Structure 1
């Protein structure tokens, strides 16, 4: 199979060269673009989620051998959650090589957090199947980079942290407002605005209201902390 320049550049961004390009193409194929002869990336996403979880579990245990499970769990969740996967996906510009149907492209599919996170997990599985666990581990740890070192900050529950920020300044709790809902009933995508009484706000999109609220709170916290 001839390698397109886009896929060649993408392999450079993730630091892995595929022997079986069909695995990479499948990992980048969304359900809206799939067909009887072109399977989508959902099965790979399922596997990639587990590979990511194993790699991060190993890493956290090695880095802090004395930490109890109650300390490790929030760190783990912060590293494997969909928002983090989507953030890494943006870092390597998965959106530029995603294979989407026309309807998804029209609704901004290349920027949707859920699609990006799913695709990142699928790429992890494709690397695992093509090169084995060691190659997948190397790619994951490289791409996640300093997110692992800074995981203690990211492990804080962002909605709780934002509420504490507001309370410390004698402000009412933040409001969470649903500003948009897209997609079919079985797979909705929510956009939520986290807003403080002083007018500061941030938006986030995710495939559940809770995840969108958490992401919006996290984004707003980062904005507030950058103003210190």
Structure 2
């Protein structure tokens, strides 16, 4: 099996050789090879498709998140960092057509080049197979990142989300029972979230604020188990 066949197997979709080569052609290669077409137009297309698919997925699976938090989560998982990480997992860099200068400067591992090429692949799949196939590929790769709290970082203020839900649904007062332990230089905190007479989740952290945020995040997940994405 050729390396290109292995790439397509990892992607789980077949792209014809001409379209795939276009998706993998960086402008530095084009400059040194008679200005052959580059992947920039496919990248433009793929970026739009990616943003739409993730926005749709978040809208369907996170019905209680406000617009601002939906936008932050989308931004986190379609970021250059996230897309470059996916490209590395697929070993995409070795397949990109680069000019000599980019090859010498390790362009095959540059986040910007990897992320742009990943978007071009999404665009190529859309052109070859349509939106359903592009959506399946995108969600298969990116939806798991929505569970990666390191990647999401501070994308969501969980305390605010819980507070707003409790108020909207008249669930009762929200408060945190917080306890600290350990020496001052290495103190840890445990926070238990209460809503009305319900005791929800406990979170831990190196500060009261972080412990409360973790308790709120875990409580939100308890209140909102994952939902199946409807088939298209």
Aligned to 1:12: 9
Q: Distance in 1 between matches of 2:10 and 2:185?
A: 43
Q: Distance in 2 between matches of 1:153 and 1:91?
A: 17
Q: Distance in 2 between matches of 1:79 and 1:169?
A: 35
C-alpha contact 2:146 2:152 (8 A) present in aligned 1: no
Q: Distance in 1 between matches of 2:68 and 2:132?
A: 28
Partner SS, residue 16 of structure 1: coil
Call closer, same or farther: CA 1:105–1:61 in 2, change over 3 Å.
same
Aligned positions of 1:132-151 closer than 5 A? 132-150=130-148
Q: Which has the larger radius of gyration?
A: 2
C-alpha contact 2:82 2:151 (8 A) present in aligned 1: no
Aligned to 2:72: 74
Q: How far off is 1:37 after superposition?
A: 6.4
Q: Distance in 1 between matches of 2:143 and 2:74?
A: 14
Q: Distance in 2 between matches of 1:95 and 1:141?
A: 21
Q: Which runs of 5+ in 1 are unaligned?
A: 159-167, 171-228
Matched, 1:115 2:113: yes
Partner SS, residue 40 of structure 1: coil
Which of 16, 26, 32 does residue 28 from structure 2 map onto? 32
C-alpha contact 1:98 1:110 (8 A) present in aligned 2: yes
Partner SS, residue 69 of structure 2: helix
Q: Which runs of 5+ in 2 are unaligned?
A: 156-183, 187-232
TM-score normalised according to structure 1 size: 0.64
Provide, for residues 76-120 of structure 1, a one-character-per-residue CA deviation record: whole Å limited to 9, x for no partner: 110111111111100101101111111110000011010000000
Aligned to 2:103: 105
Aligned to 1:161: none
Aligned to 1:44: 42
TM-score normalised according to structure 2 size: 0.63
Q: How far off is 1:36 after superposition?
A: 4.4
Q: Distance in 2 between matches of 1:75 and 1:145?
A: 11
Q: Distance in 2 between matches of 1:69 and 1:44?
A: 28
The runs of 4+ residues in structure 1 deviating greater than 2 Å are 35-38, 152-158
Q: How far off is 1:65 after superposition?
A: 1.3
Q: How far off is 1:66 after superposition?
A: 2.2
